[in-house]
Amino acid sequence: MHTIAGGRGRWRSVSPLPPPGRLRTLALATLANTVGTGLWVTGVALYLTRVVGLSPTKVGLGLTLAGLVGLTASVPLGALADRRDPRALRAVLQVGQAVVASAYLLVDSFPVFLVVATLDALLVSGNLAVRAALIAAVAGPEGRVQAFATLRAVANLGIAVGAGLAGFALAADTGWAYRLLVVGNVATYLVSAALVRRLPAYPPTRRPVRQGPGRALRDGPFLAVAGASAVLSLHSVALTLVLPLWVLARTDAPPVTMSAVLLVNTLLTVLLAVRLSRGAQHATPAAATMRRAGLVLAAGMLLWAAIGAAPTPVAVGLLLGATAVYTVGDLWHMGAGAALAYDLAAPDALGAYQGVDGLLGGLARAAAPALLTWLVLGGGTAGWLVLAGLLAVTGLAVPPLTRHALASRVDGPPAGQSVDRARDQPISSST
């Protein structure tokens, strides 16, 4: 018994899943959803090119256009979550995502693909804002940042599992195998929706004043902080797009090295996401964490730049070490960004504000591929230096921007205090 108990204790120390309770239920729903994400993102390009018959150029163009249109759903659906139960709204949206995901089986031309991809992007973007409102409802003001970090760790684990499972389809490389990925993605949406429905309802006890989603879009101090966080989010595209191309062009490292890079990033995210989110639950400490994140991310960019001038064994070691540094900065940015988006929002419009935060981040990530490939791959080491400087300066700007945002607040209780809504009452992990 002692051995079993000790084994359970060791497992809990490394498992990203929280103890039994409402957050555990939400984490399991996230795990199911992101396993489907891993299945789909790993196989989508091959499904659309090998099975549907679209050209890679059309696939890229369609996904880009759909992603840009999809961003328009973030703010209105986030605002809807302020007036409705976010639990029920998220479940409905996920059922809708299952229906749209199944429609990929019917795609046989570029126009049909564009329609389906656009509907998918609208639901994904809007659901992210609703998800942020649901996290706040489940965890309460004092626990929402840690809950956000917990779900980030769980999501990384789910995507890794889904990508691993998708490898069997890629190995088979047949039409039915790729169609199974679509079916698997649909199934995970339905499982996730069923798990979300197991949570209690979180209706607002006091209906917010109807000012529409434009209220958040007119909050200049909030927009400044959220915009700074969006600029820092450029680093994610540097990892997934620019770095692989840089390694291929500037080093003799084998391609499998990038798999090791992503593995290091995933493992550290699963292990450290919750730990590094502590101490930044509210705006002022979160702003300090964001400043630190910008500086650490800048250091990661400089280390990645240096691999181009190093011998191959040194370059591989430097690449993995720099990725560890980068991941710490990424996790600080993630936790601090969530805290600032929650704590600087109007208390009765959390969903709308999360939608605006997501909109700005989405716009930055949409522009990032063209911007960063031009800057880094076209500019070489100097481009990495410019990117590092941008991240460092942006991080340093966050504390004064946050102080201005706090000083300009004219509605709601001070940051970190609960408001008169049933959804904002914190719960214990054992509830």
pTM: 0.82
| Length of the chain, in residues | 431
**What is the percent of the chain where pLDDT is above 70?**
89
How does DSSP assign 197-210, residue by residue? Answer: TTSPP---SSPPP-
Mean of the per-residue pLDDT values for the chain?
86
Examine the domain organization and report whether 155 and 256 are in the same domain: no
Examine the domain organization and report whether 255 and 339 are in the same domain: yes
At residue 420, the pLDDT reads 37
Q: How confident is the model over 122-147, as pLDDT tens digits?
A: 999 999 999 999 999 998 888 888 89
Examine the domain organization and report whether 219 and 158 are in the same domain: no
At residue 118, the pLDDT reads 95
Examine the domain organization and report whether 20 and 159 are in the same domain: yes
Q: How confident is the model over 42-101, as pLDDT tens digits?
A: 888 889 988 999 898 888 888 889 989 999 999 999 999 988 899 999 999 999 999 999
At residue 419, the pLDDT reads 38
Examine the domain organization and report whether 75 and 192 are in the same domain: yes
Q: Where are the alpha helices (DSSP H) in 47-109?
A: 56-70, 74-83, 86-102
Residue type present at position 405: A
At residue 57, the pLDDT reads 85
State the average pLDDT over residues 208-234: 83
* Count of domains for the chain: 2
Q: In whole angstroms, give the CA distance from residue 145 to residue 139.
A: 8
The answer to the question of residue 152 being in a domain is yes
- Domain stops at, among 196, 223, 239: 196
Q: In whole angstroms, give the CA distance from residue 431 to residue 428.
A: 6
Structure tokens at 423: 């959804």
Structure tokens at 141: 């003001």
Which pLDDT band, with edges at 50, 70 and 90, does 14 fall under?
low
Q: Are 223 and 404 in contact (CB under 8 A)?
A: no
Examine the domain organization and report whether 284 and 398 are in the same domain: yes
Q: In whole angstroms, give the CA distance from residue 260 to residue 244.
A: 11
Q: Which residue range forms the structural domain that includes residue 143?
A: 16-196
Examine the domain organization and report whether 149 and 247 are in the same domain: no
Q: Are 277 and 145 in contact (CB under 8 A)?
A: yes
State the average pLDDT over residues 407-430: 45
The answer to the question of residue 253 being in a domain is yes
Examine the domain organization and report whether 151 and 246 are in the same domain: no
Could you say which DSSP state residue 177 is in? H
State the average pLDDT over residues 384-391: 96
Examine the domain organization and report whether 168 and 229 are in the same domain: no
E strand or H helix that includes residue 421 = none
Q: Is the pLDDT of residue 174 over 60?
A: yes
CA 259 to chain centre: 20
Q: Is the pLDDT of residue 6 over 80?
A: no
List the single range of 63-77, 89-103, 178-192, 405-419 with lowest mean pLDDT: 405-419
Which pLDDT band, with edges at 50, 70 and 90, does 426 fall under?
very low
The answer to the question of residue 249 being in a domain is yes
The answer to the question of residue 7 being in a domain is no
Q: In whole angstroms, give the CA distance from residue 247 to residue 239.
A: 11
The answer to the question of residue 365 being in a domain is yes
Examine the domain organization and report whether 117 and 229 are in the same domain: no
At residue 212, the pLDDT reads 55
The answer to the question of residue 421 being in a domain is no
List the single range of 246-250, 270-274, 385-389 with lowest mean pLDDT: 246-250
The answer to the question of residue 5 being in a domain is no
Closest CA to 27 of 18, 35, 36: 18
Q: Are 150 and 99 in contact (CB under 8 A)?
A: no
Q: Is the pLDDT of residue 349 over 50?
A: yes
- Give the end-to-end CA distance of the chain in Å, rounded to a whole number: 26
Examine the domain organization and report whether 310 and 260 are in the same domain: yes
Q: Is 416 left (phi over 0), alpha (psi -120 to 50) or beta?
A: left
Q: In whole angstroms, give the CA distance from residue 64 to residue 62.
A: 5
Sequence-separated (6 or more) residues with CB below 8 Å from residue 269: 152, 153, 156, 327, 330, 331
Give the CATH number of the domain where residue 326 resides: 1.20.1250.20
Give, in order, the Cα–Cα distances in Å from 17 to each of 30, 86, 158, 418: 10, 22, 11, 26
Could you say which DSSP state residue 281 is in? S
